[in-house]
Structure 1
Amino acid sequence: MTSQKQIKLSHGELEFSAVEQGEGPVVLLLHGFPDTLNTWSEQLEVLATAGYRTVAVATRGYESSSQPADGDFSSEALAGDVIAWIEQLSGGPVHLVGHDWGASIAYSVAMAAPERLLSLTTMSVPHAGRFLAEIPQFPKQMRLSWYILFFQVPGVAEYVIRRKDFAFLKWLWRTWSPGWAFSEQDFEQVAEAFRCPEVVESALGYYRGAVGLDSLPWRKSYDSQKPWPIDVPTLGLTGKNEGCIAADVFSAMMREDDFPRGLKVVQVPDAGHFPHRERPEFVNALILDWLGEHDIS
């Protein structure tokens, strides 16, 4: 069994920290918000033991070396990072796993370069195009997603996140995963990352890049008929007790028509927004089954 090792990936002038373990087909793991690559601690060894080269990466802006000079956190830029990593790791195709913002990035990669992927596993965020297009149809979800608009307020959002040593982020964890008894050490890893210069601004940059005026359904430039095919076999996981994007909303926005090569949606019992952290054995079994179905024979 190989041990974990620290590696560096790059895209242009940006450099990204990563943790790698195992040998075999590549499984690339993308974290979300507010989180770090340490979110995959319960997956790395399990997937490596099963015969995969498993790589968890700190995404754009979550460390000093990956701060973009132009402040670009668009979906195109974030997907471009991942495609560059795939080229460095193997040239593809790889299995891609994403949670929260990592899931959103994963959908963008699948739309931009489906030939680079063997399979897709997404957690806690449904098809990103559907979410922006259809959220007004779900009043409950509009209420749950209040923070997205709050994050658009410059200066104020940064202040609230930083005050009392990131108490707001800890409150989000408790609200989004109400049954999860996470440890102080788990959260401290996140707080440590967010203490680094510019990381708070960068994390908010994801939301500010995604929710521009032209992305809103009531704008004339918005195309409600835009197709969003994900031409990669996709496993979508959501916690049954999800407090961020409700499980029924997730399931409603994951439609087979958008996934021509296959879609499986599972609601993880006794889990909230972080199912891979809260129910690792349950989630790991689902992921391994999905990877096994879509390995190159």
Structure 2
Amino acid sequence: MDTAVVKANGLEFGYLSIGDGPLALCLHGFPDSAHTWRHLMPELAAAGYRAVAPFMRGYAPTSIPPDGAYQSGALAADAVALHEALGGDSDAVIIGHDWGAFATYGAAAFAPDRWRKAVTLAVPPVNAMMGTFFSYEQLKRSFYIFLFQTPLAEMAFDRSFVEGLWRDWSPGFDAAEEIDNVMDCLATPDNIAAAIGYYRAMLDPTRLVNAYAAEQASASTTGERPILYLHGAQDGCLGADVVDPSAVLPHLPPGSRAEIVPDAGHFLQLERPADVNRRILDWLLP
């Protein structure tokens, strides 16, 4: 796996890459890193793609945005700018997990001519969750979102907190290597504030940066590029009881699919790589 840096959307993005061919842009979530795609990327390369996994804005070695923008629209703008900077064309595909899924929905809807297909994991479109997110059980799972709105967030955020999230979200999975990678990305107070900033932008409209208004609007539209949506049956972050494929499909573009992956939690691409990789490659390959 190669490592490099590219400038896009005014930021320096560190990234991992492997292979040659059409761009397959792989976007990670929280609390995670570009290494989350280490099982998928070689298979994408073997299938004829140039697989690229950037570290998301604010996650070292990628720079921290000076405007403090962490809204979904900013993430979508990053994905579009990375497509341009990395020489992508209309055969490019985009794959996103967790916050990377938010970026994928927005980028695919905002710039459909740049992507042939898309894949999202673990977070469906926001509109697909509105009827079930506020159930008591899901609110308990989502405690961290509300904690992150407070000044206590930075005080609570340390390795043990991240370990607890992984333990709850992907029960039974040995995440020691993943957590090492996460803590490398979030080693400074500024990086931690950036990761928390994604959640503060989610619920606080005063944190939205107007420069990304068009991309922000696209992030909540259905779009036109078909999407494969995958969700772990044992996801402890966003419960499978909240994500019924039949309820998700109406909020995805025509020709899309939504599937539950058995015996997998929130980080399904790491927990069940053979199953998840097969589903993704079956979807992407012509």
TM-score (norm 2): 0.89
What's 1:171 paired with? 164
Higher relative contact order (CA 8 A, sep 6+): 2
- Are residue 238 (structure 1) and residue 235 (structure 2) matched? no
After the TM superposition, which segments of 4 or more aligned residues of structure 1 sit over 4 Å from their partners? none
What's 1:36 paired with? 33
CA 1:67–1:213: 2 relative to 1, 3 Å? closer
Deviation at 1:197, TM superposition (A): 4.4
Deviation at 1:143, TM superposition (A): 2.2
8 A Cα contact 1:180 1:271, kept in partner: no
DSSP 3-state at the match of 1:172: helix
DSSP 3-state at the match of 2:222: coil
What's 2:15 paired with? 18
Moved more, 61-70 or 203-212: 61-70
How many Å separate the matches in 2 of 1:21 and 1:254? 36
**Superposed, which structure 2 residues align to 1:164-243 within 5 Å?**
166-182=159-175, 184-212=176-204, 228-243=221-236
What's 1:218 paired with? none
Q: After superposition, give the CA deviation of every residue in 1:97-135 in whole Å (9 maximum; x if it has no partner).
A: 01111111111112211222111111111113443x434
Deviation at 1:214, TM superposition (A): 8.4
Corresponding residue to 1:63 among 60, 64, 68: 60
Which amino acid in 2 is paired with 1:89?
L
How many Å separate the matches in 1 of 2:114 and 2:34? 22
CA 1:254–1:96: 2 relative to 1, 3 Å? farther
CA 1:283–1:192: 2 relative to 1, 3 Å? same
**Superposed, which structure 2 residues align to 1:147-166 within 5 Å?**
147-154=144-151, 156-162=152-158, 166=159
What's 2:74 paired with? 77
Structure 1, unpaired ranges of 5+: 216-225
CA 1:180–1:229: 2 relative to 1, 3 Å? same
- Are residue 247 (structure 1) and residue 274 (structure 2) matched? no
Corresponding residue to 1:97 among 91, 95, 98: 95
CA 1:127–1:66: 2 relative to 1, 3 Å? same
How many Å separate the matches in 2 of 1:146 and 1:186? 22
Q: After superposition, give the CA deviation of every residue in 1:30-88 in whole Å (9 maximum; x if it has no partner).
A: 00000110111111111111111100110111026521112111222111111000012
DSSP 3-state at the match of 1:261: coil
8 A Cα contact 1:114 1:231, kept in partner: yes
CA 1:227–1:148: 2 relative to 1, 3 Å? closer
8 A Cα contact 1:64 1:198, kept in partner: no
8 A Cα contact 1:129 1:228, kept in partner: no
Rg larger in 1 or in 2?
1
How many Å separate the matches in 2 of 1:227 and 1:188? 33
What RMSD in Å do the two structures reach over aligned CA positions? 2.1
8 A Cα contact 1:63 1:196, kept in partner: no
Which amino acid in 2 is paired with 1:285?
R
Deviation at 1:253, TM superposition (A): 7.9
Structure 2, unpaired ranges of 5+: 208-218
Residue identity over aligned pairs, in percent, reads 38
Deviation at 1:10, TM superposition (A): 1.8
Q: After superposition, give the CA deviation of every residue in 1:149-185 in whole Å (9 maximum; x if it has no partner).
A: 111002x1111113xxx10001100000112123x33
8 A Cα contact 2:186 2:192, kept in partner: yes
Corresponding residue to 2:5 among 5, 8, 24: 8
CA 1:259–1:13: 2 relative to 1, 3 Å? closer
